[in-house]
Chain A
Amino acid sequence: MNSIIGTDEIGDVIVISTQGYLNKDLGEEIFALVEKNISDGKKKFIINLAQSDIVNSIGASIMIEIIEELQEADGTLAFCTLAPIVEKTFTIMGLTKYCSTFESQEAALEHMA
């Protein structure tokens, strides 16, 4: 169902992979995970949404909160492998103004390096 299916530390980047509906529940799960990692000193995050082909505005607004948290901590966030409808929702919600999106995880990692 809707969950985080993987958290990988690749170099100094934390890659969070999800599946299912990026809604309030999954959004808050990601938020908590990012918050914990920020407190552990991590600053670079990639959220891989390859297996999340739908997001609602609540999920998108929680992503904005994550971006705000990271801005406070002088960190960065990127998204990768977004379904077109997810990318469109992110754009409408103004999310893409504050973070980058990439077609692949490799491209996102390269950007973070």
Chain B
Amino acid sequence: MSPDTALIQKLEVLQDFQSKRNLISQVAGLSHIDLVFFRFKTALRKLGLQQFFFQGDLPQGLLNVSQVIEVDAGHHIFSIIEPATHISKYHVCPIFFEANLAGFIVTEKNSSSLYAILTLAHHLSCLLMRQKFENQMSRKSTELKYRLLEVESLIDVVGILNNSDDLNEEVYGQLLLTILLVLNASKGLILLREKGTGLFSVITSFNIKTSDLPNKVITENRGLLKILKTAKEGLIINDVEKYPLTSFANKNAIACPLVDQSCLVGCIIVVDKETRVGHVNFTPRDLRLCNSLGAKISLAHSNFSLFDSLKSSNKLVESIMSSVNTAILKVNVMGEVEYVNQSALRIFGVGQGDMLDQHYRVVLNNNPELIKIYEEVESQPQRTYAEDVTVFSMDGTPHQVNLTLSPVISDQSDDMEGFVFSIEDLSEIHRVKSTFKKYVSENIVDEVLSNANSLELGGAQQDVCILFCDIRGFTAMSEKLRPSEVVYILNHYFEAMIDVVFRHGGTLDKIIGDELMVLYGVPVQTKNDIDNAVATAFDMFKALSQFNKKLSKEGFPELKIGIGINFGPVVCGNIGSKKQMNYTVIGDAVNVAARLCSNAKPGEILISQAIHAGAQNKSPFTRQSPLRVKGKSEALEVLGATAAI
């Protein structure tokens, strides 16, 4: 047999060694080619070799292996010479693989055997090399699959966390399964710190009998959790029986802490790593992977905690913002509305969707005054206050407001973050004030609204001017009228009189039947209180004159009034109970004023000496007969004037 291109090509095409061996045997005319190997038994089987001898089961007499090795020092083909005949009958070719003697090819000697045995040795070495690479590839492939599983597990963990609205029992269950899968662990559980008690409890477990689950109080102050609290990273536990939390393990365990802002909030425990041949110890690589997964879960726990806290804060802020009457509008640096509360929606008469994310020029389209104020503040950022500004809602309804516009500066960077409109709707205040003024003097309204203490029960003594005005003969007159007519006349009469009172700064104390009691000097004292009271009295007659003309036209009888005015010390303040109080005055000076009124003739004004002394214009008054008053030993000095009607 000699080198033959066709033979070489045929050999190259054949994949398994047995076929090559058969072909060479056939071409070289060899009855048998024996193989003797010291190693690579598995590889040879995988190569499909069916007939070979392995050291130990070598046929007796065929080959003395120890002798061959000695001869083979030069790595050459050699012959075996039978000791009895000294005839060389066999060719022996050593097979080397990676510089190590793997075995021999032995064949009978003929003219073609040398080339045959060399060719076969070459092919066998190549096949062994290929087998080695295939094995390596297979191992690498398996390794890559495991790594891919690890990567996929990390992705799964991130996916589970990203797709969860809450870290609940179900989510922790999914996370535990993923961790068990990637670590090939047999069993596992996750402990979490309970809110409030600080105790730890099992939130999820897998493959652990209920009876094996920890049933004692678990705190971070002892045992495994104490170690994890200090270490803040996972650890491999080989002495599993030492800790109740790992006592259900057969081999060893990994315990990985869940940490939120340096605080131990939970723990993952997985036990008994599985392999095809049984449980083995977890490796540092497993620990590293578990730590990575634990860190991801810890981060998610922190985020959810922060999110919960943020939600609570937002809820609180929203609750506060919804409950205040002040409208709040936050505009960011882009000029877009970032926040708006219910009161602002009410004032502007729009829904939230109409304002949020809209530009302020759109939102304030029909409020050019607000736009002007905003743009002034934007150009020179400083808190600005504007009183009694008119804001128009979408449907054109005006609202009187007080406006505060404040720039918002970031705490961290000192950067401008936008502006906040704080709009105090005065409509309600105006309405209350307006209604209030129908019942009490504007003075009292202003005093009450401006001074919170004015609503406290109690009083103070001061000099006050008291005016009583009474309709003469009204009872007799009303008996001739229908009740509705009486009410009609009285309402219009009082309206006219009270207008006069308020015009002169009087405080309407009360209406008693057809009588008015008016005060000057409370709650705010002025130097003109007496003159104002006197002027009121004269103007009341003028107003009455006009009113009587109206009554006459309507066919009603004319009214006649008498007025009494006194000045003197009284106790004034809120008198009554906390639920029902009246701002009034009490004292002897009040009785005197009432008495003067009751003695005044129709069209007459009776004043006390004190009034006369204090009045700037004394000329209308003339001295009258002293007046006897009940409870007074001396008669009162009285002056009177007849109103020019």
Which residues from chain A sit less than 8 Å from chain B, CB to CB? Answer: 1-2, 20-21, 23-24, 53-58, 61-62, 85, 88-89, 92-94
Q: Which residues of A contact B278 (CB under 8 A)?
A: 24
Say whether B558 faces chain A, with CB atoms less than 8 Å apart: no
Identify which of B39-47, B148-156, B422-430, B442-450 touches chain A.
B148-156
> What are 10 A-to-B residue pairs whose CB atoms are below 8 Å?
A1-B209, A24-B274, A24-B276, A54-B180, A56-B181, A57-B145, A58-B184, A85-B156, A85-B181, A89-B149
CA distance A24 to B207 in the complex (A): 13
CA distance A92 to B146 in the complex (A): 8
Distance in Å from the Cβ of A109 to the closest Cβ of chain B?
28
Partner of B274, one of A20, A23, A53: A23
Q: Interface 1/0s, chain B 196-228, versus A by CB < 8 A? A: 000000000011010000000000000000000
A21 and B207 contact, CB distance less than 8 A: yes
Q: Which residues of B contact A89 (CB under 8 A)?
A: 149, 181
CA distance A80 to B153 in the complex (A): 22
CA distance A21 to B183 in the complex (A): 13
Q: Which residues of A contact B152 (CB under 8 A)?
A: 88, 92
CA distance A61 to B276 in the complex (A): 8
Q: Which residues of A contact B145 (CB under 8 A)?
A: 57, 92-94
Partner of A57, one of B146, B207, B209: B146
3 closest residue pairs by CB, A with B: A56-B184, A24-B274, A58-B274
CA distance A57 to B206 in the complex (A): 17
Say whether B393 faces chain A, with CB atoms less than 8 Å apart: no
Q: Which residues of B contact A94 (CB under 8 A)?
A: 145
Q: Residue of A at shortest CB range from B176?
A: A54
Partner of B149, one of A1, A23, A57: A57
Distance in Å from the Cβ of A80 to the closest Cβ of chain B?
20
CA distance A94 to B180 in the complex (A): 20
B276 and A55 contact, CB distance less than 8 A: no
Q: Chain B contact residues (Cβ within 8 angstroms of A): what range? A: 20 to 34
Distance in Å from the Cβ of A23 to the closest Cβ of chain B?
5
CA distance A55 to B178 in the complex (A): 10
Q: Which residues of A contact B274 (CB under 8 A)?
A: 23-24, 56, 58
A62 and B276 contact, CB distance less than 8 A: yes
A92 and B148 contact, CB distance less than 8 A: yes
Say whether B498 faces chain A, with CB atoms less than 8 Å apart: no
Known: A85-B178, A88-B152. A20 touches B207 (CB 8 A): yes
CA distance A56 to B145 in the complex (A): 12
CA distance A55 to B184 in the complex (A): 9
Q: Which residues of B contact A53 (CB under 8 A)?
A: 177
Q: Residue of A at shortest CB range from B209?
A: A1
CA distance A62 to B152 in the complex (A): 21
Partner of B207, one of A2, A88, A92: A2
CA distance A57 to B177 in the complex (A): 13
Q: Residue of B at shortest CB range from A55?
A: B181
Q: Residue of B at shortest CB range from A58?
A: B274
